[in-house]
Homo-oligomer: A and B are copies of this chain.
């Protein structure tokens, strides 16, 4: 994908992109309250991928802040959070939604899901995920309360706010504009929207 171009993550759908080591991808919350499930795979070996359980062990934090580096399932640096104008609330705790989730929430019939979006976005570039890794859920607001409980809350991000991530190796990244419309994770209106991203070189955050 060319640099400086704005790419769309369609509402309820996914998109994949290649990132060279050192490039920075900026994910824009165009309409303000859209969660974007994010995965990263080693471009040379898809069995190595960004892992939330390995990242937490290294960054010693439940949710990443600017300066934190997400790690792979082989504990290698994958993506570093280098800029964040969204309020700094992202989630590493919750699985990507899937058809089982929507069935349990009472939905009947087809429902888009981040799990299916991951597979479809990779398929569009001739790849397939070795599994569905636990995603980095950008803009997703899952507070951990003092008693260890968690809750699903609306994002604190605002329209046009963004997160910039630097690739620490050559990567395939996948974004899914989460189609969750039965819980307020994409805002109180439960109305999933598109989001956008652009890729820049490492010399300028956000390209």
Contacts and interface: CB of A to CB of B under 8 A. Distances in A.
Copies in the complex: 2
B95 A61 contact: no
A150 B52 CA distance: 14
A101 B75 CA distance: 7
Contact of A60 (B76, B104, B150): B150
B94 A60 contact: no
Main secondary structure on chain A at its contact with chain B? loop
Contacts of A101: 57, 75
A132 to B, nearest CB: 7
Interface in A35-61: 51-54, 56-57, 60-61
A143 to B, nearest CB: 9
Contact of A57 (B73, B75, B94, B146): B94
Contact of A95 (B57, B62, B144, B148): B57
**Residue among A73, A132, A146, A151 facing the most chain B CB atoms (10 A cut-off):** A73
Contact of A75 (B53, B98, B132, B150): B98
Contacts of A54: 95
B130 A62 contact: no
A93 interface: yes
Contacts of A26: none
Contacts of A149: 60-62
B73 A148 contact: no
A63 interface: yes
Contacts of A4: none
